A and B are shown apart, each in its own frame.
Chain A
């Protein structure tokens, strides 16, 4: 059994055939990007045609820190002009 240092963790993003964007599907271990792609295809797409897969080494992802959550994400809810809620969305506008 190889240790996890030989088989680093990869994050997998999949865009389905009719999908608009890549969505994080999960993670897996693989020795390199090529193998990660192949494993992702088996694990997360069941080989559906027309899907797109991205694999990213987990170490390349920088995440926001939960400790800084408050100053980082706190919306100024008392300032309604910050939120685009006053617009009527016309019929026929898709993907909003």
Chain B
């Protein structure tokens, strides 16, 4: 792997790893048993992607468990706590649509990620379907569910511009990707009777440095929990 391909593998791998961990936090807490299985399923898909990507960049366990916060390259969107179910769904919608477009592009290329992307697009198509379905149900559900969805959209909107910062090693038309993303997400939100937030998606007051290793406060606590055992018993095999 070249250095830039390595950097790209870390960026994509960290996105999948961190979101997988966040979804894992729902285990035993989902609104209904069936939904718990669905979220766990998505988390497992993402963890699988993370393992492949991090293995391309080095030793997966070392990368996951021994890096400090500042060395992680994931988007700030995926490290945001799940909050209520609406917030989790909005986070899923924003990220899954991004992943579908990204992997769709990578799968058609011949780069080091083509094989992984070809496999992942199928998984991601399901994730998008799941998130869209819940967005429609909750957005166009009751007054309360609509309110919670609107709030989650507003809160997470500022983290969405960061997804389209070019990643070294991925030769993609990021502008086009962003346009398609906006189009898809706008379509779903409108069908769900939700308003597309008007807040900024880039610039001051928005996220933008996850790829450079700058993260939000909840991420440190998440890592402490995720890495605790490995750091307590370094070098152990399990």
**Interface on A for B, CB 8 Å cutoff?**
1-2, 7, 28-31, 34-35, 38-39, 42-43, 47
- The residue in chain B whose Cβ has the minimal distance to the Cβ of A35 is B133
A-B contact count (CB 8 A): 31
Q: How far is the CB of B86 from the nearest CB of chain A, in Å?
A: 15
- Among A7, A34, A47, contact of B133 (Cβ-Cβ < 8 Å): A34
Contact A42 B38 (CB under 8 A): yes
Q: How far is the CB of A49 from the nearest CB of chain B, in Å?
A: 9
Could you list 14 A-B pairs, sorted by A, with CB under 8 Å?
A: A1-B31, A2-B32, A28-B34, A29-B33, A30-B34, A31-B137, A38-B133, A39-B37, A42-B34, A42-B38, A42-B41, A43-B34, A43-B37, A47-B41
Grouping DSSP codes into helix (H, G, I), strand (E, B) and loop, the A interface class, with mixed when no group exceeds half, is: mixed
Grouping DSSP codes into helix (H, G, I), strand (E, B) and loop, the B interface class, with mixed when no group exceeds half, is: helix
> What residues on B are CB-neighbors of A42 within 8 Å?
34, 37-38, 41
B130 at the interface (CB under 8 A from A): yes
- The residue in chain A whose Cβ has the minimal distance to the Cβ of B134 is A35
Contact B38 A39 (CB under 8 A): yes
Q: How far is the CB of A84 from the nearest CB of chain B, in Å?
A: 43
Q: How far is the CB of B31 from the nearest CB of chain A, in Å?
A: 7
**With A2-B31, A38-B133 already in contact, 17 other A-B pairs whose C-beta atoms are closer than 8 Å:** A1-B32, A2-B32, A7-B32, A29-B32, A29-B33, A29-B34, A30-B34, A31-B137, A35-B137, A38-B38, A38-B130, A39-B34, A39-B35, A39-B38, A42-B34, A42-B37, A47-B126
